[in-house]
A and B are shown apart, each in its own frame.
Chain A
Amino acid sequence: MERKAVRNLRLCTKDCLCLYVCPTGASDTEDSVIDVDRCIGCGQCADACPSGAISLVPVKYPRQQEKDEDVVSSLMDLAASRARQEAIAEAVGESGDREGLRRLALAIARSSRISAEDLVREAGFMLPQSDGAIDLLRSLVENPPVSFPVESARRLVSLLERRR
């Protein structure tokens, strides 16, 4: 299975042993993100790292677990409700002159989005390069709503296809 190294910047303590062992220089970058185009997935860096900051992830991921229709629809009901809550909270945050309420409302808006994202993840949209996500993008490219960014979606499909 083809793999690539990734670095967790929160754990990295800049001991730089990955730089010493990397045969292609992929781990030595100005933004500390391992260069995936150079990485050959040998795993030397992960073995050498004393802080456990580097792990190897597959280039191609397995399919998401099958989801039952009833589970999907009940999670989607919740996500739809949370999405409405986000929009209302945003409107509350943008209106009025009460500073505390403004911050509380924006926190609720952000919280609603995070929660709703988690729910749709479990409803079948976990992996960006999954069949479901690519099919959804394709259907939007074929029947785009008004002023939909078709070219961006097309480019995205071609990027995702490589990792499907």
Chain B
Amino acid sequence: MKYICSICGYVYDEEAEGVPFDSLPDDWTCPGCGAEKAMFDPQEESGTGLAGSFERHVSGVATMTKLTPAILSIVFSNLARGSGKQYQGEEERLYGEISSYFSSICDGEEADLGMLQTLVAEDLAQRFPAALESAQERGDRGALRARLWAEKVSRIVSSLLSRYGREGEAMLEGRQVWVCSVCGFIHIGDDAPGMCPVCKVPGWKFDSVS
């Protein structure tokens, strides 16, 4: 039997490895991207079961009707980035200033790790399937692409949070935390990975968090 990583696509072949997937220790992580065991799915089942999850979840997703300060901060920081890519320095600065303004008027959030985990889990169970359904229905490949990258990144976030819950500070001691500046994938290790397992950009596109 083969198991496939839902983030980077690494295949664990029980036959080749000689060790049943279930017998791997709980702290075993994906050699491709560092995700925990729980992020693997049996390969045979890939592609099934999704339709059912739409039916269950889509109706429960709230639709956002207005641009909140939090969303506006994102919209404008993204436009600042787009200006920077076009070498428009003044536009980049002005868009950045407007983004910072909206960040400053957002409602504050509590430092609540449990709430963070809940939101990530809700995204994976409800909002990502809903977005998949609408993007597939319209054949919007750009939306499918952004949604897929974001979903994989949410999986690694979920995986890292649950690993931190089990391993605590030992998980990060003496190791660097790297973030892909293109898709947001997070990698723990001495060096950045050679290539981002989600969006495939080269390692120099990663920044370490100090």
Contacts and interface: CB of A to CB of B under 8 A. Distances in A.
Interface of A: 6, 10, 33-34, 36, 57, 65, 67-68, 70-71, 73-85, 87-92, 94-96, 98-101, 103-104, 106-108, 110-123, 125-128, 133, 136-137, 140, 145-149, 152-153, 155-156, 159-160, 163
A57 B109 CA distance: 41
B149 A73 contact: no
B160 A104 contact: yes
Contacts of B115: 88
B11 interface: no
Interface residues of B, number: 86
25 contacts: A67-B143, A70-B134, A82-B150, A85-B120, A85-B157, A88-B112, A88-B113, A91-B110, A92-B112, A95-B111, A107-B209, A108-B157, A110-B209, A111-B179, A112-B184, A113-B77, A114-B183, A115-B154, A122-B147, A125-B79, A128-B83, A128-B88, A148-B98, A149-B98, A159-B90
A107 B91 contact: no
Contacts of A153: 94, 98
B164 interface: yes
Given A81-B119, A88-B110, A114 B184 contact: yes
A63 to B, nearest CB: 14
Interface string B93-127: 01101100100011011111101100110110001
Given A82-B123, A88-B109, A94-B111, 4 more contacts: A84-B70, A100-B168, A122-B142, A148-B98
Interface of B: 61-65, 67-71, 73-75, 77-83, 86-88, 90-91, 94-95, 97-98, 101, 105-106, 108-113, 115-116, 119-120, 122-123, 127-128, 130-131, 133-135, 137-138, 140, 142-143, 145-147, 149-150, 153-154, 157, 160-161, 164, 168-169, 171-173, 177-186, 204, 207, 209-210
A127 B80 CA distance: 10
